[in-house]
Amino acid sequence: MSDQDVDLERRRFLTISTSVVGGVGMAAASVAGIMYWTKSERALALGAPTVVSISRLKPGEQMVTLWRSQPIWLLKRTPEMLKELVRLNSHVKDSMSDESELQPSYAKNQYRSIREEIFIVIGICTHLGCSPRHKKAKELGADWGGGYLCACHGSKFDYAGRVFNGAPAPSNLKVPKHHFHPDNPNMVIIGVDPKDEGAKS
């Protein structure tokens, strides 16, 4: 692989900085810039939802934001990534998200998401809390269709955060409460359930 290919790959999984941490009411106007808070505002924000725009996210790209000091990954999955998830059903420990405390009810499916193409997850390994890294297809062998590797003890996760069989991590990555803004499908509010949980976001 050339240096240019490596750069391109890095760019696709670029950490787009956490531009917004704030209340639901701050929404779109707040997305463009980093905000500065007083001490008490910061304390309040620790428990507040994070509002983030995914309008610039292209298929195959991932961005990272913060919610309650935890890294939140927002991945726009390609049709190939979704197809790979179906193929992997028998290779992962909990393919249908039976462990209910790991995701809200509206993300309890093989894609672990509200919208199939948008995957939102807390990027912290369920073994001992390291943060897994993205590994693109073939990077971990001919059979590897892309996903995440926690280098600490070797746990692997697919593009739905499902842990592979035999990994030390006991369970899938955790999906936070979230919903899409009812008037703007590109606006995600992390930390709050949809008004009508289980129904459309």
76 and 117 Cβ atoms separated by less than 8 Å: yes
Query: Is residue 127 part of the contact set for ligand FES (CB under 6 A)?
Result: yes
Is 140 a binding residue for ligand FES by CB under 6 A? The answer is: no
How far apart CA 113 and CA 125 sit, in angstroms, is 18
Across the beta sheet with 50-53, the strand order is: 50-53, 184-190, 178-181
Could you tell me if 140 and 133 are in contact, meaning their C-beta atoms sit under 8 angstroms apart?
no
What is the per-residue DSSP string for 122-139? E---TTT----EEE-TTT
Query: Smaller CB distance to ligand FES: residue 129 or 141?
Result: 129
Q: Which stretch binds ligand FES (CB under 6 A): 18-26, 50-58, 69-77, 123-131?
A: 123-131
130 scored as a contact of ligand FES (CB under 6 A): yes
Report 46-105 residues binding ligand FES (CB under 6 A): none
Residue 125 makes contact with ligand FES by CB under 6 A: yes
* Least distance in angstroms from the C-beta of 154 to ligand FES: 6
Q: Give which of 146, 103, 108 is closest to 126, Cα–Cα.
A: 103
107/83 Cα distance (integer angstroms)? 18
Does position 168 bind ligand FES by CB under 6 A? yes
Q: Is 128 in the site for ligand FES (CB under 6 A)?
A: yes
The number of residues that bind ligand FES (CB under 6 A) is 11
Residue from 10, 153, 195, 200 binding ligand FES (CB under 6 A):
153
Which positions touch ligand FES (CB under 6 A)?
Answer: 125, 127-130, 150, 152-153, 155, 168-169
